[in-house]
Amino acid sequence: MSVVADSGKWVNFCVKKAFLYGLILSVAGCNDEPELRSDSVAIVENSYIPEWRSHRVSRYEVIRELPHDSGAYTQGLMLLGDYWIESTGGYGASSIRWVNRETGEVVLKNDLPGDLFGEGVAGLDGRFYQLTWEGQKGFIYDAESLKKLGEFPYSGEGWGLTSDGKSLIMSDGSDRLRFLDPKTFRVQREVAVRIEGRPVERLNELEFIEGEIFANVWHTDQIVRINPSSGNVQGIIQLDNIYPGAGAPNPEFVLNGIAYDDAKKQLYVTGKCWPKIYQIRLIKEQ
């Protein structure tokens, strides 16, 4: 299936997102590296303190590779038991789906209307919430059946979505994260994401992990770890060369997709239309 059914819409998609292509510091090979703030983590659910919390810059070690649908333009990814919950994008190709973690088989899927472009997904209290890019509305689903239960409005674009167990946390391509009330969908608060006072824009797919917000930075090989209270970047994860085919044959087939197994403390990443999902271990840059 084509990622985008209409080539004109695809060009429009690229142009509209390209103007947000702001500056993020390239840590690898940079002599004057940024000083990252070591704020206390706002939300700690248990006494487990991951080793990577002390990393200023993390690299990675691939633990194993799992199959992924190379036709899935991944916009949001999360893990629930033995299944991925994945939101895919593309006009005429967007969906929310249950996917078998080990085999990559799509076991349940709900397609979006052809005029909507799927974006991030989050789970909370037995429901899934899915954003759309330009539609200024999201969808609510029953977590087991993927039956659509309702819709919710928001202003601007929708990019990434996650939850801290209380609020929905949303990115819109800028340097700001919005915290939404999951009942009224009103904005409770916003945080501006900063490194040394400088904004980090193009925040895309989000995942709430051990009290921090992990965020893909669109069109880079980086994930930033964000303090949810202050917005300060706690660390940067460099994932260059994890998939040698990234950006081919389409330059939009880039890193995007973060999932976490909270019970087993396992981290997974993938990209748009990548054939693999990678379980990785974070290691400190030497």
Tens of pLDDT along 96-141? Answer: 999 999 999 999 999 999 999 999 999 999 999 999 999 999 999 9
Give the Cα separation of 95 and 172 in Å (integer).
19
Query: 6 pLDDT exceeds 90?
Result: no
Number of domains in the chain: 1
Whether residue 37 lies inside any domain: the answer is: no
Query: Which residues, other chains included, contact 19 with Cβ-Cβ below 8 Å and sequence gap of 6+?
Result: none
Whether residue 280 lies inside any domain: the answer is: yes
Q: Is the dihedral of CA 39, 45, 47, 53 positive or negative?
A: negative
Question: Which pLDDT belongs to residue 114?
Answer: 97
Average pLDDT, whole number, for the chain? 88
Average pLDDT over residues 12-32: 38
Whether residue 1 lies inside any domain: the answer is: no
208-234 confidence digits (pLDDT tens): 999 999 999 999 999 999 999 999 999
Query: 45 pLDDT exceeds 70?
Result: no
Question: Structural domain of residue 195, as residue ranges?
Answer: 7-31+42-284
Whether residue 2 lies inside any domain: the answer is: no
Q: Residue 246 maps to which CATH number? A: 2.40.128.630
Whether residue 188 lies inside any domain: the answer is: yes
pTM, entire model: 0.87
29 class by beta-carbon count within 10 Å (0-12 exposed, 13-18 middle, 19+ buried):
exposed
110 class by beta-carbon count within 10 Å (0-12 exposed, 13-18 middle, 19+ buried):
middle
Whether residue 36 lies inside any domain: the answer is: no
> In whole angstroms, how far apart are CA 32 and each of 17, 42, 72, 225?
29, 29, 38, 20
Whether residue 150 lies inside any domain: the answer is: yes
Whether residue 154 lies inside any domain: the answer is: yes
Q: Where are the alpha helices (DSSP H) in the chain?
A: 7-18
